[in-house]
Amino acid sequence: MSPTSPRIAIVGVAGRMGRTLVAAVEQDAQARLAAGIVEPGSSLAGADVGELAGLGKLGVAASDSLEAVVDNFDVLIDFTAPQVTLANLAFCAEHGKRIVIGTTGLSGDELAQLDDYKAQVPMVFAPNMSVGVNLTLKLLQTAAKALGDEGYDIEVIEAHHRHKVDAPSGTALKMGEVVAESLGRTLKEHGVFAREGQCGPRSDNEIGFATVRAGDIVGEHTVMFATEGERIEITHKASSRMTFAKGAVRAARWVAERSPGRYDMQDVLDIKG
């Protein structure tokens, strides 16, 4: 590890992604694990973050206060919950820190609040940090442009573990947005998020969403383009949270060298456009 590698703090370090992020930072020769933050008042404060992650002692004690570790880190990685993330973003603005945000389930208003900080904070925000999903977004652009106005019905289907609290997933919404934008549609007007009872036949331009929550599914997304006689399905299946965590650490290294702005994973991977 180089002494110039960014010092990384992980907030929500005891969570599913937090624990995986500890392992991902440890595996990355160009990143340094500097701090782990748990909820204020958590009984896990003081525990070794390596032990929380099942890796054995790493010599970094979990803190229940971001203020207490403010001098220890350069980039914060946040996979928590919308209001927690917004508070941490304000903290980063106040203290000259950078941030990688993986939290999903932000409302339209909360998403707009991210922009309030883009002149001050270098931030990467993406509902899915895996290379595969971000490449899939490119494939969806191409598919939507070729098929969407040719009588193909578009549906987005996602499946996640039983603990997930938001629906549809941030990734499903992003996939829907990419498809809608490619076709000059909007999810506000054309998104259909529930069908029940006598709901009638589908309309031509709607983009439907369906959600599965079950067991330990890490994250699966399919966008279906279906017409008379054929169906194309573009699917991404994550089988380990490490794919998201590695992407987030890559984003942390990238954003450590950027000017203030709101970036996404396509910027990090240099596949925008």
Ligand X SMILES: O=C(O)C1=N[C@H](C(=O)O)C[C@H](O)C1
Ligand Y SMILES: NC(=O)C1=CN([C@@H]2O[C@H](COP(=O)(O)OP(=O)(O)OC[C@H]3O[C@@H](n4cnc5c(N)ncnc54)[C@H](OP(=O)(O)O)[C@@H]3O)[C@@H](O)[C@H]2O)C=CC1
Annotated binding site: 12-17, 39, 102-104, 126-129, 161, 170-171
Apex 171 CA angle, 236 and 186, nearest 5? 120
Site membership for ligand X, residue 160 (CB under 6 A): yes
Count Cβ atoms within 10 A of the Cβ of residue 224 and give its class: 0-12 exposed, 13-18 middle, 19 or more buried: middle
Q: Out of 15, 170, 191, 247, which residue is the one contacting ligand X (CB under 6 A)?
A: 170
Q: Which one of ligand X, ligand Y, none interacts with residue 122, CB within 5 to 8 A by kind? A: none
**Listed residue (84, 153, 94) closest to 121, CA to CA:** 94
Q: Which one of ligand Y, ligand X, none interacts with residue 39, CB within 5 to 8 A by kind? A: ligand Y
Strand partners, 39: none
Question: What is residue 273's DSSP assignment?
Answer: -
Query: Does residue 164 sit in helix, strand or coil?
Result: coil
At closest approach, how far in Å is the CB of 60 from ligand X? 24
Active-site annotation holds for 95: no
Could you give the CA distance from residue 49 to residue 53 in angstroms, rounded to a whole number?
Answer: 6
At closest approach, how far in Å is the CB of 179 from ligand X? 15
Number of residues in contact with ligand Y under rule CB under 6 A: 25
Positions in 1-60 near ligand Y (CB under 6 A): 11-12, 14-18, 37-39, 42
Site membership for ligand X, residue 136 (CB under 6 A): no
Q: Which residue in 160, 174, 190, 246 is the catalytic one?
A: 160
Span interacting with ligand X, options 38-46, 144-152, 166-174, 187-195, rule CB under 6 A: 166-174
Site membership for ligand Y, residue 217 (CB under 6 A): no
At closest approach, how far in Å is the CB of 42 from ligand Y? 6
Query: Does residue 88 sit in helix, strand or coil?
Result: helix
Q: Radius of gyration (Cα) for the chain, nearest Å?
A: 20
Residue with tokens 């903290």: 91
Q: Between 57 and 162, whose beta carbon lies closer to ligand X?
A: 162
Active-site annotation holds for 118: no
Could you give the CA distance from residue 232 to residue 119 in angstroms, rounded to a whole number?
Answer: 41
Site membership for ligand Y, residue 266 (CB under 6 A): no
Q: Which residue in 95, 118, 138, 164 is the catalytic one?
A: 164
Query: How many residues in total does the chain contain?
Result: 273
Q: What are phi and psi of 154, to 5 degrees?
A: -115, 125
Q: Which one of ligand Y, ligand X, none interacts with residue 160, CB within 5 to 8 A by kind? A: ligand X
Could you give the CA distance from residue 103 to residue 84 in angstroms, rounded to a whole number?
Answer: 9
Could you give the CA distance from residue 127 to residue 32 in angstroms, rounded to a whole number?
Answer: 24
Q: Which one of ligand Y, ligand X, none interacts with residue 262, CB within 5 to 8 A by kind? A: none
Positions in 157-176 near ligand Y (CB under 6 A): 170
**Cβ–Cβ < 8 Å for 248, 24:** yes
Binding site for ligand Y (CB under 6 A): 11-12, 14-18, 37-39, 42, 79-81, 84, 102-105, 126-129, 170, 244
